[in-house]
Structure 1
Amino acid sequence: MHAYRSHSCAELTSAEVGQTVRLSGWVNRVRDHGGVLFIDLRDHYGMTQVLCDPDSPVFADVEKVRSEWCIRIDGEVKARDADLVNPKIPTGQIEVFIRDMEVLGASKELPLMVFGDQEYPEETRLKYRYLDLRREAMQENMKLRSDVVASIRKRMWDNDFREYQTPIITASSPEGARDFLVPSRLHPGKFYALPQAPQQFKQLIMVSGYDKYFQIAPCFRDEDPRADRSPTDFYQLDMEMSFVEQQDVFDTIAPVIAGVFEEFGGGRKVDAPAEWEQISYRDAALWYGSDKPDLRNPIKMQVVSDHFRGSGFAIFAKLLEQDGTEVRAIPAPTGGSRKFCDRMNAYAQKEGLPGMGYIFWREKTADAVAQELGITVKEAQAKLKSGEVEGGMEAAGPLAKNIGPERTEAIRQQLGLGLGDAAFFLGGKPKTFEAIAGRARNVIGAELGLIDEDRFAFAWIVDFPIYERDEETGEIDFEHNPFSMPQGGMDALKGDPEDVLGYQYDLACNGYELVSGAIRNHRPEIMFKAFEIAGYGADQVEKRFGGMVNAFQYGAPPHGGCAAGIDRIVMLLADAENIREVIMFPMNQRAEDLMMGAPSEPMNEQLRELRLRVLPPED
């Protein structure tokens, strides 16, 4: 018999009854039923109930066993009584009577329990990650991650892509985040960098004549952490193709992403890639307040400025006299109660705004009927009750009183709202309130139960502007990826820079950015001109991106691609709210590895060898 096991803890069935078997695993829990000891023995594959009574030669040893001890047992497979069968696990029809046991690894008192669903502080979980990873939910998350990566690889190979590895140690290259620098021992005073992405290398692979490339690539960025972003490193499906246009990239990557979500999404609806909307960046900002909208929420914001110009609501009327200002409405179907409107107004105040104006539509009150007909409220109540007068609908709320019935009715019709609905309003220069409006849209959709939770909703966000103008200095700089091919090529760069759009695109799903990519600017003359507009001379471009620029002068093909975040994909599939739930050994929110003690102070010998000196932190 094998030294440690003849079967895993998920294999035994009634077919093995009467056999002597050997199992190894961890003690999930111990139960003492009147002198009979029951142990749920767990390994990576599943659980088997083993038991021991005083007739066993190792009963005294088994009595000492505690949770999370690693043990080996030999025993006889027995059938459970019919009323004790556990249909929830594959081994629920049998149990194993222990004849022999060996302790493979005893455990100290546990800082966190593996069995059960107890909640522990994240700091505790990360410090003892090897214990946290034993928990069933974490085991499932990590298996899911591995299966997703395997599925992605197979799908890419099936699409005639080959996987090529790019360097992990390279030159520093601004990609939009801070580099992790690596000092060179052989070249004192000089530094390598860990790549923020394989961006330049994958483009060089296209210049080298390889038609299709992909890689499950590690990326390193010194960033502030968020719930959906690791502060140090992450993995992405990186891909690039030659002789393609934007739609070719969509048609290639979309079936891969859709297939993974269909395979691992637990039966949730996944729209066919042909149905994925293509929404311009500016429309996404207007309609959803975000370039990664959650389309499970049907609310779409609209501009309603014309209804407030010259109106009795002085705050918006005066604001609209300023250049570049708008008033936007967030429709709220079924949100037509003062209580809900006041709650959302308080939410806006908590987000740093003075508040949100609102209008809601309700059944016409007796007061309103009395005022319209010039009768008493009591008479109006009687007419409403008898049906002599139809109640109808009225607009309520401070804004409705200020702008009057004609304007409120025009707003209602524009937004397609009716009885029991509401609308919220924000005004100013769009960039000052768009993000908050987007968050408010999400909160409204969630609180009113409008979000289709059983769906993965995808949309391509396209037509990103390449440039933006600094409002204070008036200077032009890049707003998005400077290496995207401008739509219209060189001709597009002759007009207003703020009108220049790039062949850049993101894929959004349920409020997260899953994929980002572009058709690349492979023409040196266009690249130099694009950087010149943003104030970068040719010498700066060659110094910072010399390898790629030089390569483009030797017959570079048109090419484009994208990268899909593995961690975010798995986070969505696992229904996890935090990306650290799907990364095996993540950093905490301060970019610290509490388990391994990183970052750590270097030894003096290391510093001397690298000719480095550490300055004390500033106060």
Structure 2
Amino acid sequence: MESMGALRRTHTCNELGLDFLDQETTLMGWVLRRRDHGGVIFIDLRDRWGITQVVFNPEINPAVHAKAHQLRSEWVIAVRGRVAKRPESMENPKLATGAIEILVDELRILNTSETPPFPLDEDVEVSDTLRLQYRYLDLRRPEIAKNLILRHQALQTVRTYLNDNQFLEIETPMLTRSTPEGARDYLVPSRVHAGKFFALPQSPQLFKQILMVAGMDRYYQIVKCFRDEDLRADRQPEFTQIDMELSFITEEEIITIVEGMIKALFKEIRDLDLQPPFNRMTYDEAMRRFGTDRPDTRFGLELVDLTETLRGCGFKVFNTVIDKGGMVKAINAKGCGAFSRKDLDDLTEYAGRFGARGMAWIKVKEDEWQSPITKFFTEDEIKAMAQALDAQPGDLILFGADTAKTVHQVLSELRLELARRLGLIQGDSFNFLWVTDFPLLEYDEEQKRYTAVHHPFTAPNEAQLELLETDPGAVKSRAYDLVLNGNEIGGGSIRIHSPLMQKKVFKALGIETEEAQEKFGFLLRALELGAPPHGGIAFGVDRLMMLLTGSTSIRDVIAFPKTQKATCPLTEAPSSVARKQLTELHLQPDWKEK
């Protein structure tokens, strides 16, 4: 291998154009592809910024031309030469440097490369595992590298916006105490305190509230968070948040600040001029119309409640559900009356993945409603359904009948699947929606107690405080989520700043005084020492960047992501450790070493 020596890079591979003709330049990068045309060798040289064509002509320098015969894909080289205009027939309008080429007079081979495990210059299908195992090669691909560059630009935009709005960027600890209320913590054993553990933070929630007690007034942090939970396609065990908290603030003021940040972000990254204020919808309305608290509002296919319309009807399945306190809802799939039996069977199978025990349907024909269940309905019931659903000939009605939770889960997912099949989702449109007035608590049948919908520090609606003791499930919170195209990208709330109120909420959650002191005593003590009214919000950077870049997976916008099984193919983490290390940490594993 050769050294760079006195050779210094003068330009990047995306910088040169016709303004630089006849100038001498030195470029450095990787060989993307090599072409040998009648003795003249053409190399597409790539670096982070782009691609430049460099030419090795035996008439310019025979020795350098001979040396260029060695070059192979992904070799690292430096070239010095003169900027020349490409022949008109060889211009490449797809490249920023497509009008010029470099006539090379000096070549240095800085490093060689074995044949890569997958091509970097072709749009080929590569397994996720292989891509992540060789992530450093995957990141050389322009489409993935571009995502990281955009992520950098996005976070710089966020920092600039928040700095200009009087926020302070403050770091909070990565090693803290375990306060499991939701997902499992990642635990870190202490060597110097035998039998005790740190936890990696699921969020900086408690620290940012304490910063408000400390008088910092406006805090933000772009922070790593950790959750040891079962993973989905859009989840990672470690993820990044844009985290913020503000004092002496109302929901309206937080929403206004956030909308300004999102507007600046989309202008910088997508050159889109968003027009706040964004639409708003209460939690109850979102569940009623869409069956989910993060509805995709780019299309219709709304849910229609038929419970009262069909109460006492002749269809036993529906009647049994209604009598047990369940509900019947339906979606009118406009123009889908021509769906085949296979289409309907496929939709029924799809609905079954989300808890449906079958799916009733009706095809609306010109002179009749066609379905095995039509015979169970009276003429008045059919007319009432037709009016409620705006059913016209050619439509397809799909029913959900079960508990409210199951009906909403099934029909909300079925609605999205129908939209995909019917091409109703426009890929480049962005529909923002604030969802507000969430329930403060929800009853967990498994634990036989109420749990927090967001977290235990969310302030309740002050007009409903008396219900905390008599009907906790009816209490609304001062929480708000920002939804984009059916994805929750941010969530926040006004916090509890009164120690008395915090204790009341803990009691409603079944957290007794002793347990509250053990888990959250430091927060309760801080609230007793002059806590201002405060609130905040956090945004998932990975999911937001996935939507901003049009990627299909959050792994495409993270430099070194984990797999869906929470492993790292690159480093082979998690891995075994020596028994000596475990002993130092006072751990006595009961598993056998392989």
TM-score surpassing 0.5?
yes
Task: Note closer, same or farther for the CA distance 1:209–1:472 as it changes in structure 2 (3 Å cut).
Answer: closer
1:10 — aligned with what?
A: 14
Secondary structure at the residue paired with 2:308? helix
Alignment of 1:138-537 (within 5 A): 138-231=144-237, 233-265=238-270, 267=272, 270=274, 272-280=275-283, 282-322=284-324, 324-339=325-340, 340-349=343-352, 351-364=354-367, 394-471=368-445, 475-488=449-462, 490-537=465-512
Q: TM-score, normalised by structure 1?
A: 0.90
1:240–1:561 contact (8 Å) kept in structure 2: yes
Task: Note closer, same or farther for the CA distance 1:69–1:206 as it changes in structure 2 (3 Å cut).
Answer: same
Quote the Cα distance in structure 1 between the aligned partners of 2:89 and 2:276. 49
**What residue identity is the alignment partner of 2:398?**
F
**What residue identity is the alignment partner of 2:254?**
V
1:375 — aligned with what?
A: none
> Which string of whole-angstrom CA distances, capped at 9 and with x for unpartnered residues, describes residues 159-212 of structure 1?
221211111222222242221222222222221121111100100010011211
Are 1:25 and 2:29 an aligned pair?
A: yes
Quote the Cα distance in structure 1 between the aligned partners of 2:409 and 2:593. 34
Give ranges in structure 2 of 5+ residues lacking alignment: none
Alignment of 1:521-560 (within 5 A): 521-560=496-535
Quote the Cα distance in structure 1 between the aligned partners of 2:312 and 2:74. 72
Quote the Cα distance in structure 2 between the aligned partners of 1:350 and 1:499. 30
Secondary structure at the residue paired with 1:101? strand
**What residue identity is the alignment partner of 2:169?**
E
Quick check: 144-153 or 13-22, which moved more?
Answer: 13-22
Task: Note closer, same or farther for the CA distance 1:430–1:99 as it changes in structure 2 (3 Å cut).
Answer: same
Give the RMSD, CA atoms, in angstroms.
2.2
Secondary structure at the residue paired with 1:501? coil
Quote the Cα distance in structure 1 between the aligned partners of 2:499 and 2:21. 74
2:168–2:216 contact (8 Å) kept in structure 1: no
1:196–1:219 contact (8 Å) kept in structure 2: yes
Secondary structure at the residue paired with 2:71? coil
1:73 — aligned with what?
A: 79
**What residue identity is the alignment partner of 1:238?**
D
Deviation at 1:433, TM superposition (A): 3.0
2:351–2:413 contact (8 Å) kept in structure 1: no
Quick check: 557-566 or 245-254, which moved more?
Answer: 245-254
**What residue identity is the alignment partner of 1:100?**
E
Q: TM-score, normalised by structure 2?
A: 0.94
1:54 — aligned with what?
A: 58
1:482–1:531 contact (8 Å) kept in structure 2: yes
1:603 — aligned with what?
A: 578
Quick check: 585-594 or 447-456, which moved more?
Answer: 447-456
**What residue identity is the alignment partner of 2:224?**
P
2:259–2:278 contact (8 Å) kept in structure 1: no
1:388 — aligned with what?
A: none
Give ranges in structure 1 of 5+ residues lacking alignment: 365-393
**What residue identity is the alignment partner of 2:256?**
D
1:335–1:422 contact (8 Å) kept in structure 2: yes
Quote the Cα distance in structure 2 between the aligned partners of 1:298 and 1:288. 9
Quote the Cα distance in structure 2 between the aligned partners of 1:598 and 1:583. 17
Identity %: 40
Task: Note closer, same or farther for the CA distance 1:412–1:454 as it changes in structure 2 (3 Å cut).
Answer: farther
2:289–2:302 contact (8 Å) kept in structure 1: yes
Quick check: 310-319 or 111-120, which moved more?
Answer: 310-319
Deviation at 1:618, TM superposition (A): 12
Quote the Cα distance in structure 1 between the aligned partners of 2:479 and 2:574. 36
Aligned length: 585
